[in-house]
Protein backbone atom coordinates (compact mmCIF):
# COMPACT_ATOMS: atom_id res chain seq x y z
CA UNK A 1 0.00 0.00 0.00
CA UNK A 2 2.75 2.45 0.93
CA UNK A 3 4.66 1.73 -2.21
CA UNK A 4 1.56 2.48 -4.21
CA UNK A 5 1.02 5.76 -2.42
CA UNK A 6 4.57 6.78 -3.20
CA UNK A 7 4.00 5.56 -6.76
CA UNK A 8 1.03 7.90 -7.00
CA UNK A 9 3.15 10.77 -5.72
CA UNK A 10 6.04 10.22 -8.07
CA UNK A 11 3.64 10.26 -10.93
CA UNK A 12 3.58 14.02 -10.33
CA UNK A 13 0.04 14.00 -9.07
CA UNK A 14 -1.42 12.48 -12.16
CA UNK A 15 -3.13 9.94 -9.94
CA UNK A 16 -5.97 11.41 -7.96
CA UNK A 17 -5.52 10.17 -4.42
CA UNK A 18 -9.23 10.12 -3.80
CA UNK A 19 -10.86 6.85 -4.62
CA UNK A 20 -12.73 6.55 -7.83
CA UNK A 21 -15.30 4.31 -6.29
CA UNK A 22 -18.03 4.85 -8.82
CA UNK A 23 -15.90 4.07 -11.84
CA UNK A 24 -14.22 1.18 -10.14
CA UNK A 25 -17.40 -0.34 -8.91
CA UNK A 26 -18.44 -0.51 -12.51
CA UNK A 27 -15.01 -1.78 -13.55
CA UNK A 28 -14.99 -4.53 -10.94
CA UNK A 29 -18.54 -5.53 -11.77
CA UNK A 30 -17.83 -5.76 -15.45
CA UNK A 31 -14.59 -7.60 -14.75
CA UNK A 32 -16.61 -10.21 -12.93
CA UNK A 33 -19.30 -10.36 -15.55
CA UNK A 34 -16.47 -10.99 -18.00
CA UNK A 35 -16.42 -14.56 -16.72
CA UNK A 36 -19.81 -14.95 -18.38
CA UNK A 37 -18.22 -13.92 -21.67
CA UNK A 38 -20.52 -11.05 -22.56
CA UNK A 39 -19.88 -10.13 -26.19
CA UNK A 40 -18.18 -6.74 -26.49
CA UNK A 41 -21.00 -5.35 -28.58
CA UNK A 42 -23.58 -6.31 -25.97
CA UNK A 43 -21.45 -4.80 -23.22
CA UNK A 44 -21.18 -1.62 -25.24
CA UNK A 45 -24.94 -1.32 -25.50
CA UNK A 46 -25.36 -1.53 -21.73
CA UNK A 47 -22.71 1.06 -20.82
CA UNK A 48 -24.97 3.60 -19.26
CA UNK A 49 -26.46 1.15 -16.79
CA UNK A 50 -23.11 0.28 -15.20
CA UNK A 51 -21.90 3.72 -14.08
CA UNK A 52 -23.03 5.00 -10.70
CA UNK A 53 -22.92 8.77 -10.06
CA UNK A 54 -20.10 9.76 -7.67
CA UNK A 55 -20.86 11.08 -4.19
CA UNK A 56 -19.56 14.47 -3.05
CA UNK A 57 -16.46 12.95 -1.42
CA UNK A 58 -15.42 10.92 -4.43
CA UNK A 59 -13.38 12.50 -7.19
CA UNK A 60 -13.51 10.15 -10.14
CA UNK A 61 -10.54 10.17 -12.43
CA UNK A 62 -11.11 8.48 -15.71
CA UNK A 63 -8.33 5.97 -16.26
CA UNK A 64 -6.49 5.72 -19.55
CA UNK A 65 -5.41 2.42 -21.08
CA UNK A 66 -3.03 2.37 -24.04
CA UNK A 67 -3.66 -0.48 -26.45
CA UNK A 68 -0.81 -1.23 -28.80
CA UNK A 69 -1.52 -3.47 -31.77
CA UNK A 70 1.91 -4.75 -32.77
CA UNK A 71 3.54 -4.30 -36.20
CA UNK A 72 1.54 -2.83 -39.12
CA UNK A 73 2.14 -1.39 -42.58
CA UNK A 74 5.15 -2.95 -44.26
CA UNK A 75 5.93 -4.94 -41.13
CA UNK A 76 3.45 -7.85 -41.15
CA UNK A 77 4.83 -9.44 -37.97
CA UNK A 78 4.68 -13.23 -38.03
CA UNK A 79 2.93 -15.08 -40.82
CA UNK A 80 0.89 -18.18 -40.00
CA UNK A 81 -1.56 -20.58 -41.60
CA UNK A 82 -5.04 -21.68 -40.58
CA UNK A 83 -6.23 -25.30 -40.82
CA UNK A 84 -8.00 -24.31 -44.04
CA UNK A 85 -4.62 -23.15 -45.41
CA UNK A 86 -5.59 -19.50 -45.23
CA UNK A 87 -2.64 -17.20 -44.56
CA UNK A 88 -2.65 -15.26 -41.31
CA UNK A 89 -0.77 -12.01 -40.72
CA UNK A 90 0.01 -11.00 -37.16
CA UNK A 91 -0.54 -7.29 -37.91
CA UNK A 92 -4.18 -7.97 -38.95
CA UNK A 93 -5.01 -10.32 -36.07
CA UNK A 94 -3.64 -8.04 -33.37
CA UNK A 95 -5.40 -4.96 -34.77
CA UNK A 96 -8.72 -6.81 -34.77
CA UNK A 97 -8.16 -8.00 -31.20
CA UNK A 98 -7.03 -4.52 -30.09
CA UNK A 99 -10.29 -3.05 -31.44
CA UNK A 100 -12.24 -5.60 -29.40
CA UNK A 101 -10.30 -4.59 -26.29
CA UNK A 102 -11.01 -0.95 -27.05
CA UNK A 103 -14.77 -1.52 -27.40
CA UNK A 104 -14.98 -3.42 -24.14
CA UNK A 105 -12.94 -0.90 -22.13
CA UNK A 106 -14.82 2.08 -23.53
CA UNK A 107 -18.08 0.36 -22.65
CA UNK A 108 -16.80 0.16 -19.06
CA UNK A 109 -16.06 3.90 -19.02
CA UNK A 110 -12.29 3.72 -19.48
CA UNK A 111 -10.49 6.06 -21.87
CA UNK A 112 -8.62 4.10 -24.54
CA UNK A 113 -5.78 5.33 -26.70
CA UNK A 114 -4.77 3.10 -29.60
CA UNK A 115 -1.21 3.41 -30.90
CA UNK A 116 -2.63 2.50 -34.30
CA UNK A 117 -6.14 2.00 -35.67
CA UNK A 118 -5.19 1.17 -39.24
CA UNK A 119 -2.61 -0.83 -41.17
CA UNK A 120 0.25 1.57 -40.52
CA UNK A 121 3.69 1.12 -39.03
CA UNK A 122 4.51 3.01 -35.85
CA UNK A 123 8.14 3.01 -34.67
CA UNK A 124 8.64 1.00 -31.48
CA UNK A 125 9.90 4.01 -29.55
CA UNK A 126 6.98 6.14 -30.70
CA UNK A 127 4.46 3.68 -29.25
CA UNK A 128 5.77 4.35 -25.75
CA UNK A 129 5.93 8.07 -26.41
CA UNK A 130 2.27 8.07 -27.42
CA UNK A 131 1.50 6.29 -24.15
CA UNK A 132 3.42 8.88 -22.11
CA UNK A 133 1.94 11.86 -23.95
CA UNK A 134 -1.55 10.53 -23.28
CA UNK A 135 -0.67 10.00 -19.61
CA UNK A 136 -1.63 6.33 -19.76
CA UNK A 137 -2.24 4.35 -16.60
CA UNK A 138 -1.23 1.11 -18.25
CA UNK A 139 0.06 -0.12 -21.58
CA UNK A 140 -0.87 -3.37 -23.29
CA UNK A 141 0.93 -4.51 -26.42
CA UNK A 142 -0.80 -7.32 -28.36
CA UNK A 143 1.18 -9.84 -30.42
CA UNK A 144 1.07 -13.31 -32.00
CA UNK A 145 3.77 -15.87 -31.29
CA UNK A 146 5.64 -18.00 -33.84
CA UNK A 147 7.37 -21.32 -33.31
CA UNK A 148 10.97 -21.64 -34.35
CA UNK A 149 10.96 -23.78 -37.54
CA UNK A 150 14.06 -25.58 -36.22
CA UNK A 151 12.09 -27.05 -33.32
CA UNK A 152 11.21 -30.74 -33.45
CA UNK A 153 7.49 -30.17 -34.17
CA UNK A 154 6.98 -26.42 -34.51
CA UNK A 155 3.36 -26.75 -35.63
CA UNK A 156 2.43 -28.42 -32.36
CA UNK A 157 3.62 -25.57 -30.11
CA UNK A 158 0.72 -23.60 -28.74
CA UNK A 159 -0.47 -21.50 -25.84
CA UNK A 160 -0.48 -17.90 -24.62
CA UNK A 161 1.98 -15.97 -22.50
CA UNK A 162 2.28 -12.48 -21.07
CA UNK A 163 5.55 -10.62 -20.68
CA UNK A 164 6.60 -7.74 -18.52
CA UNK A 165 9.76 -5.80 -19.12
CA UNK A 166 12.79 -7.18 -17.31
CA UNK A 167 15.92 -9.03 -18.28
CA UNK A 168 15.19 -12.32 -20.04
CA UNK A 169 16.11 -15.37 -17.99
CA UNK A 170 15.54 -18.17 -20.49
CA UNK A 171 16.44 -18.88 -24.08
CA UNK A 172 12.76 -18.94 -25.02
CA UNK A 173 12.18 -15.50 -23.47
CA UNK A 174 15.12 -14.16 -25.47
CA UNK A 175 13.70 -15.75 -28.63
CA UNK A 176 10.38 -13.89 -28.27
CA UNK A 177 12.09 -10.60 -27.39
CA UNK A 178 14.38 -10.90 -30.40
CA UNK A 179 11.40 -11.64 -32.63
CA UNK A 180 9.39 -8.65 -31.41
CA UNK A 181 12.38 -6.30 -31.30
CA UNK A 182 13.42 -7.21 -34.83
CA UNK A 183 10.63 -5.00 -36.14
CA UNK A 184 12.90 -2.04 -35.42
CA UNK A 185 14.62 -2.78 -38.71
CA UNK A 186 11.50 -1.35 -40.35
CA UNK A 187 11.66 1.83 -38.29
CA UNK A 188 12.84 4.80 -40.26
CA UNK A 189 11.22 7.55 -38.27
CA UNK A 190 11.18 7.96 -34.53
CA UNK A 191 14.09 7.78 -32.16
CA UNK A 192 15.86 4.51 -31.63
CA UNK A 193 15.84 2.97 -28.19
CA UNK A 194 19.44 2.08 -27.49
CA UNK A 195 20.67 -0.78 -25.34
CA UNK A 196 21.88 1.79 -22.84
CA UNK A 197 18.28 2.96 -22.49
CA UNK A 198 17.34 -0.59 -21.54
CA UNK A 199 20.15 -0.67 -18.96
CA UNK A 200 19.04 2.66 -17.58
CA UNK A 201 15.52 1.34 -17.19
CA UNK A 202 16.67 -1.54 -15.02
CA UNK A 203 18.33 0.92 -12.65
CA UNK A 204 15.53 3.40 -12.50
CA UNK A 205 13.53 3.31 -9.28
CA UNK A 206 10.25 4.37 -10.79
CA UNK A 207 10.57 1.74 -13.47
CA UNK A 208 11.27 -0.83 -10.75
CA UNK A 209 7.97 0.16 -9.22
CA UNK A 210 6.40 -0.30 -12.63
CA UNK A 211 8.02 -3.73 -12.87
CA UNK A 212 6.09 -4.95 -9.84
CA UNK A 213 2.89 -3.48 -11.18
CA UNK A 214 3.55 -4.91 -14.64
CA UNK A 215 4.25 -8.34 -13.19
CA UNK A 216 0.91 -8.28 -11.38
CA UNK A 217 -0.88 -7.10 -14.52
CA UNK A 218 0.75 -9.96 -16.45
CA UNK A 219 -0.51 -12.49 -13.88
CA UNK A 220 -4.04 -11.13 -14.11
CA UNK A 221 -3.82 -11.25 -17.91
CA UNK A 222 -2.76 -14.90 -17.90
CA UNK A 223 -5.57 -15.82 -15.51
CA UNK A 224 -8.08 -13.96 -17.70
CA UNK A 225 -7.00 -15.66 -20.90
CA UNK A 226 -6.98 -19.08 -19.26
CA UNK A 227 -10.77 -19.03 -19.08
CA UNK A 228 -11.31 -18.56 -22.78
CA UNK A 229 -8.22 -19.62 -24.73
CA UNK A 230 -8.15 -22.98 -26.57
CA UNK A 231 -4.48 -23.55 -25.71
CA UNK A 232 -2.49 -23.87 -22.49
CA UNK A 233 -1.05 -21.07 -20.40
CA UNK A 234 2.69 -20.73 -20.92
CA UNK A 235 2.86 -18.45 -17.93
CA UNK A 236 4.11 -14.99 -17.03
CA UNK A 237 7.48 -14.28 -18.58
CA UNK A 238 9.98 -11.46 -18.71
CA UNK A 239 12.27 -10.08 -21.39
CA UNK A 240 13.69 -6.83 -22.74
CA UNK A 241 11.07 -5.58 -25.16
CA UNK A 242 11.92 -2.30 -26.82
CA UNK A 243 8.27 -1.34 -27.17
CA UNK A 244 7.87 -1.48 -23.39
CA UNK A 245 11.03 0.45 -22.50
CA UNK A 246 9.79 3.90 -23.38
CA UNK A 247 6.35 3.54 -21.77
CA UNK A 248 6.68 4.97 -18.26
CA UNK A 249 3.78 3.09 -16.76
CA UNK A 250 2.89 -0.51 -15.92
CA UNK A 251 3.23 -2.29 -19.25
CA UNK A 252 2.84 -5.81 -20.61
CA UNK A 253 3.16 -7.57 -23.93
CA UNK A 254 0.72 -10.41 -24.49
CA UNK A 255 1.36 -13.15 -27.03
CA UNK A 256 -2.21 -14.33 -27.65
CA UNK A 257 -1.18 -17.66 -29.17
CA UNK A 258 0.86 -19.33 -31.89
CA UNK A 259 -0.07 -18.41 -35.44
CA UNK A 260 2.05 -21.41 -36.45
CA UNK A 261 -0.40 -23.82 -34.74
CA UNK A 262 -3.47 -24.68 -36.86
CA UNK A 263 -6.18 -24.67 -34.15
CA UNK A 264 -4.82 -21.50 -32.54
CA UNK A 265 -4.51 -19.80 -35.93
CA UNK A 266 -8.16 -20.75 -36.57
CA UNK A 267 -9.20 -19.31 -33.21
CA UNK A 268 -7.33 -16.00 -33.45
CA UNK A 269 -8.36 -15.35 -37.04
CA UNK A 270 -12.07 -16.00 -36.34
CA UNK A 271 -14.40 -13.18 -35.30
CA UNK A 272 -15.48 -15.19 -32.25
CA UNK A 273 -11.90 -15.91 -31.18
CA UNK A 274 -10.89 -12.28 -31.58
CA UNK A 275 -13.87 -11.21 -29.47
CA UNK A 276 -12.95 -13.75 -26.78
CA UNK A 277 -9.32 -12.68 -26.70
CA UNK A 278 -10.29 -9.00 -26.64
CA UNK A 279 -12.78 -9.52 -23.84
CA UNK A 280 -10.27 -11.45 -21.71
CA UNK A 281 -7.59 -8.79 -22.18
CA UNK A 282 -9.99 -5.92 -21.46
CA UNK A 283 -11.48 -7.55 -18.38
CA UNK A 284 -7.98 -8.26 -17.09
CA UNK A 285 -7.13 -4.58 -17.48
CA UNK A 286 -10.32 -3.66 -15.60
CA UNK A 287 -9.48 -6.11 -12.83
CA UNK A 288 -6.00 -4.62 -12.54
CA UNK A 289 -7.37 -1.06 -12.41
CA UNK A 290 -9.91 -2.07 -9.76
CA UNK A 291 -7.20 -3.63 -7.58
CA UNK A 292 -4.92 -0.67 -8.10
CA UNK A 293 -7.63 1.79 -7.22
CA UNK A 294 -8.46 -0.07 -4.03
CA UNK A 295 -4.83 0.06 -2.96
CA UNK A 296 -4.24 3.75 -3.67
CA UNK A 297 -7.40 4.53 -1.74
CA UNK A 298 -5.84 2.86 1.31
CA UNK A 299 -7.88 -0.27 1.10
CA UNK A 300 -10.80 1.28 2.92
CA UNK A 301 -13.34 1.53 0.17
CA UNK A 302 -12.70 -1.48 -2.00
CA UNK A 303 -15.07 -4.41 -1.89
CA UNK A 304 -12.13 -6.81 -1.78
CA UNK A 305 -10.80 -5.52 1.56
User: Which listed range, 66-74, 127-135, 150-158, 283-291, lies at the site for Zn ion (CB under 5 A)?
Assistant: 66-74
Q: Which stretch binds Zn ion (CB under 5 A): 137-145, 196-204, 236-244, 297-305?
A: 137-145
**Other Cβ atoms within 10 Å of 14 Cβ, number:** 13
Main-chain phi, psi angles of 291, to 5 degrees:
-65, -45
Binding of Zn ion by 257 (CB under 5 A): no
Q: Which is nearer to Zn ion, 46 or 117 (CB)?
A: 117
The interface with Zn ion within residues 176-205 (CB under 5 A) comprises 180
143 binds Zn ion, rule: CB under 5 A? yes
Contacts with Zn ion: how many residues (CB under 5 A)?
A: 4
Nearest to Zn ion of 146, 275 (CB atom): 146
Least distance between Zn ion and beta carbon 145 (Å) = 8
Segment contacting Zn ion (CB under 5 A): 17-25, 67-75, 129-137, 217-225? 67-75
Q: Which residues contact 63 (CB under 8 A, 6 or more apart)?
A: 20, 23, 110, 111, 137, 289
Span from 136-144, 199-207, 236-244, 280-288 in contact with Zn ion (CB under 5 A): 136-144
How far is it, in rounded angstroms, from Cα 82 to Cα 42? 28
Q: Smallest distance from the beta carbon of 265 to Zn ion, in angstroms?
A: 14
CB atoms near residue 74 (< 10 Å): 10
Q: How far is the CB of 170 from Zn ion (least distance, A)?
A: 18
Q: Does 70 bind Zn ion (CB under 5 A)?
A: yes
Q: Are strands 79-81 and 160-165 parallel, antiparallel or unpaired?
A: unpaired
Q: Which is nearer to Zn ion, 66 or 286 (CB)?
A: 66
- The CA-atom distances, in angstroms, between 127 and each of 69, 113, 124, 209 are 10, 11, 5, 21
Among 34, 60, 77, 231, binds Zn ion (CB under 5 A): 77
Site for Zn ion in 151-180 (CB under 5 A): 180
Burial of 36 (0-12, 13-18, 19+ CB in 10 A): exposed
| Burial per residue of 153-165, b for 16 or more beta-carbon CB atoms within 10 angstroms, e otherwise | eeeebbbbbbbbb
Binding site for Zn ion (CB under 5 A): 70, 77, 143, 180
Amino acid sequence: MNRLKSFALVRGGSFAMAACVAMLGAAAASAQSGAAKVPAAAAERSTTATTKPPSATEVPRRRTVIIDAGHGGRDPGMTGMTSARRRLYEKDVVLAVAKQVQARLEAAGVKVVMTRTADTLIALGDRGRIANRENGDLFISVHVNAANPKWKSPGATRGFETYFLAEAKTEDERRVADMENEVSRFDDGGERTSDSAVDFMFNDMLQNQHLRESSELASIMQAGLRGTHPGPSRGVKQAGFRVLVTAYMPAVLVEIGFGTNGPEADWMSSTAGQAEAGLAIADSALEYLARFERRVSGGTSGPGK
